[in-house]
A and B are shown apart, each in its own frame.
Chain A
Amino acid sequence: MNLFLVPVHLRRSHYALLEELCKRLEARTPFPVGIRHIETGPELGFDVNRHQYNSSSIIQHLSKHSGSDVLLGVCDADLFIPIFTFVLGEAQLSGNAGVVSVYRLRNSFYGLPDDPELFMKRLFKVALHEWAHLLGLMHCLETSCLMHASSSVEEVDIRGDEFCPECQSIVWQYLNQIKQRQ
């Protein structure tokens, strides 16, 4: 279950953050993490009425190209799913494709001075959270757990970057199942 980060609507100048995220994720997941480039096209997921990008459309596109791997899109556009005003990220439950957006993770979005380390921490938490959904984990009620649902950066900051003991045991359980299949 190799994980590949895919730049989606991401400026080349931001590719450095992909590499940093790649390193951080590799340190925490038992599988190799790499970067893969696939053709996405500028119009992928764009909604003319909302001037936002539909995350479900992006996920569908990534899923088609995933093969036996898992793809996690990293995007610099504002994502939405039809019912919500925005989402920070979305992933299929026990699936092979997900996407995270950096658009609302920067302090500058809220009129505050940028903090690159805080930004990376947020991105790492959102990406690891979506990866766990891809593994099959659901949201957790424990506010400090990485799997606690968070719909704003404040909540992302509040939750930790570790799983609670219960979620951690589920992660191990899923990983064992995958290893046995391999």
Chain B
Amino acid sequence: MKQETQSILIVDDEFSVRDSLTGWFRKDGYETSSAKNGEDALKKVQERNWDTILLDIRMPGMSGMEVLKRLTKNSPDSVIIMLTAHGTIDTAVQAMKDGAFDYINKPVDPDDLSRVIKKAMEHQRLKSENTRLKMTINKLTRYQELVGVSPVIQKIKEQIRMLANTDVTVLIRGESGTGKELIARAIHASGPRRFFSLVPVNCGAIPESLLETELFGHEKGAFTGAQQRHRGKIELAHEGTLFLDEVGSIGTKMQVELLRVLETKEYTRIGGTKSINANFRIICATNQNLEQLVEFGAFRHDFYFRINVFTITVPPLRDRRSDIPLLVEYFLEMYARKMNIEIPEITSESMEQLTTHQWPGNIRELANTLERATVLCQGQPIVPDHLQVSEMGLDETIEDRTLDDIIKSHIKMTLEAHDWNISKVAQVLHIDRTTLYNRIKKYGLKN
């Protein structure tokens, strides 16, 4: 039973050491070569890659320590084992701090050598496996490309590249549905933390009382019902990224707690006493006007400054209409692939409607519209009827509409959705039936 050929380079100024080790390793089936000094070793390392390098510490000319420093730079994948005589143990320890894998004393107990070499080979195997796995993760976590060629999207892509390799706190601002989480994922997936988790927390969806447990976790018995230790999102994001969506919904008490974690890089689980080291990157997103919240006292200014180190503003879709045809193409292809059908064509009228619509729900709304159209068109070209975009959006911005207009269209939509069942609609709208009748009369709504 033969082993996979591994290569070993022996660097020692003594011929007898080189000769005996070369002979020994050859019998073990290793591909072996030797170098009589540091310069010779560096030359051999440039020529090819060595799995393991046995390096003598004391050599005339360039010392083993000097060679080690250069090898760790030039040949980072090699496992380096230092050979040392009695009296150079301190140097050997220093060598390990400088990147050597292990050291062995000369003369070597044959048992020790076999053990160290086996350990080194195992280490080498794990290292290459790790590299392979990281490459796989790279492929799997490649973020969904931001679609668009408009200058504003180009600028955001540039900002993502710039921020990826830093730990800067990022605040992503933009209306709902503009793709804030996609940008957070892109920053995470492009940086060194991509091998760890991105943990999203939708702060708006979690009641304030539960958010603390959700973020910090709790110890067993911390409160009634805490039957098990629970790891919080901060712990899960260790070495990765914590994405706080709808950060404007976090209460001020919680902001203080989070601020302390961000400042001290430590926290404790609820009901616990032990400090836990926190190493994560934080990315926040909001569609609220945080400055106004600060002004009203609903948002702490110190927390605001801490999370607002770098801001990325994602424009609403209506402000980058030139990207709509590309997005349409992207989503149609995506849904066709998902549904395992041919990519449907789209008529110029439909495209016209899509590019002129206001898209209050932004890209999310566009995606949903196109998914629905892909189903409805049944393999035929997509016509305006398949789009079913609500009329309210056409040629009319939200800013142009009065409160009465919004109330009117909302009541109308709810009535239609419930077949004009007055009792049901009154219940849904949280108003009594008389008020609903009055509103129907006021707005002139008819079944």
Contacts and interface: CB of A to CB of B under 8 A. Distances in A.
Interface of A: 50, 56, 80-87, 90, 93, 133, 138-142, 145, 149, 151-152, 164, 166
A56 B20 CA distance: 8
Q: Determine the main DSSP class of A at the interface with B.
A: loop
A83 B107 contact: yes
A153 B128 CA distance: 35
B1 A87 contact: no
Contacts of A56: 16, 19-20
8 contacts: A82-B20, A82-B107, A84-B20, A139-B27, A141-B1, A142-B1, A151-B111, A151-B113
Contacts, number: 71
A83 B21 contact: yes
Contacts of A133: 27
B410 to A, nearest CB: 76
B14 A149 contact: no
Interface of B: 1-3, 14, 16-17, 19-21, 23-24, 26-29, 83, 106-111, 113-114
Contacts of B16: 56, 81-83
Nearest to A138: B29
Contacts of A142: 1
B107 A139 contact: no
A142 B29 CA distance: 13
A83 B27 contact: no
Given A133-B27, A149-B27, A84 B114 contact: no
Contact of A138 (B26, B106, B109, B114): B26
B57 to A, nearest CB: 14
Given A83-B17, A164-B1, A152 B111 contact: yes
Contacts of B110: 84-87, 151-152
> Ordered nearest first, which 6 A-B pairs have the shortest CB separation?
A151-B110, A82-B16, A81-B20, A142-B1, A139-B28, A141-B1
Given A83-B17, A83-B108, A93 B23 contact: yes
B113 A84 contact: yes
Contacts of A152: 110-111
A160 to B, nearest CB: 14
A138 B107 contact: no
A85 B109 contact: yes
A142 B3 CA distance: 10
Contacts of A50: 107
A59 to B, nearest CB: 10
Chain A CB within 10 A, most for which of B16, B83, B107, B110: B110
B27 A141 contact: no
Given A133-B27, A141-B2, 10 more contacts: A56-B20, A82-B17, A82-B19, A83-B20, A83-B106, A83-B113, A84-B110, A84-B113, A151-B110, A151-B114
B7 to A, nearest CB: 15
Contacts of B19: 56, 82
Nearest to A91: B27
A2 to B, nearest CB: 23
A17 to B, nearest CB: 24
Nearest to A151: B110
B3 A81 contact: no
Nearest to A166: B1
A152 B115 CA distance: 13
Nearest to B16: A82
A90 B19 CA distance: 13
A153 to B, nearest CB: 11
A133 B16 CA distance: 20
B115 to A, nearest CB: 10
A151 B110 CA distance: 6
B9 to A, nearest CB: 15
A149 to B, nearest CB: 6
B385 to A, nearest CB: 71
Contact of B2 (A80, A86, A140): A140
Nearest to A145: B1
A149 B1 contact: no
Contacts of A145: 1
A145 B113 CA distance: 20
A182 B108 CA distance: 41
A84 B111 CA distance: 10
B24 to A, nearest CB: 7
Chain A CB within 10 A, most for which of B1, B23, B29: B1
A140 B111 contact: no
Nearest to A55: B20
A84 to B, nearest CB: 5
Contacts of B28: 138-139, 149
Given A85-B108, A145-B1, A164-B1, A93 B20 contact: no
